[in-house]
Structure 1
Amino acid sequence: MDFQTAVKTCFNKYADFNGRASRSEYWWFVLAEVIVLIVASLIHQYVYGIAALAFLLPALAVGARRLHDIGKSGWLQLLMIIPIVNLVLIYFYVQPSQPASNNYGEAPVVSA
């Protein structure tokens, strides 16, 4: 999945916490979020706040779908609250997808 497709998919599934998301979809979206937030912070504090709020739900949704892709519950994102333990989430996010279907649906189609 390329950058544009990943961002478009995540915003089309704005608050959809069901299903699965591939590694590339998740990491391209994170890159887009970081770039937008850095640029917004350079413009103005209020622009940053609006951009952060606009990215909040899709970021949580794609994070939950990414965890579903490896067979974990999306509720594990609550680990972000604990400073050192949230490194476990990064470990989960970089894990390869389960090739077969799991409790959360079919494996995402990854186009090269």
Structure 2
Amino acid sequence: MNWYITVLKKYAVFSGRARRSEYWFFVLFNIIVSFVLGFIDGMLGLGNPEAGIGILSLIYALAVLIPSIAVGVRRLHDTNRSGWWLLISLIPLIGAIVLIVFFVLDSQPGENRFGPNPKGM
């Protein structure tokens, strides 16, 4: 939960680096919240079967869109890659696989062009 709050505090911070744990705990918490909100949407009848998303889920997804992009960019910075690599996700299947590999890789040791290693803090 602490990592989730940390990412939200850095709402639109695209500079710096993010550790693997910061990124993956944020993703895990987003998945859990999305499932819970989807369940609530279904129980309250707020879901739209044609669109496949409910109103609460949509509001949440829009609220965390910018922090999700920002933490993804900072995670790529931690592996010494530009945030522009996020655009590779536009390539179906292969792009997502490449990004997952980049997000799983360990931090670049020491300082890189994006800042000091967050593990050293």
TM-score by length of 1: 0.91
Q: Do residues 55 (structure 1) and 64 (structure 2) align?
A: yes
Determine which of 106, 112, 115 is the counterpart of 1:102: 112
Q: Do residues 14 (structure 1) and 11 (structure 2) align?
A: yes
Superposed CA offset, 1:42-95 (max 9, x none) = 112100000111111111000000000000011111111111222000000000
Q: Indicate the RMSD between aligned Cα atoms, in angstroms.
A: 1.3
- Show structure 1 runs of 5+ residues with no match: none
Superposed, 1:82-93 pairs within 5 Å as 82-85=91-94, 86-93=96-103
Superposed, 1:25-104 pairs within 5 Å as 25-44=22-41, 45-85=54-94, 86-104=96-114
* Letter paired with 2:56: V
The alignment covers a number of residue pairs equal to 108
Superposed CA offset, 1:18-39 (max 9, x none) = 0000000000000011111111
CA-CA distance at 1:109 after TM superposition: 3.3
* Letter paired with 2:65: L
TM-score by length of 2: 0.85
Identical columns (%): 47
* Letter paired with 2:12: A
Question: Quick one: distance in 2 between partners of 1:102 and 1:29?
Answer: 23
4+ long deviations beyond 3 Å: none
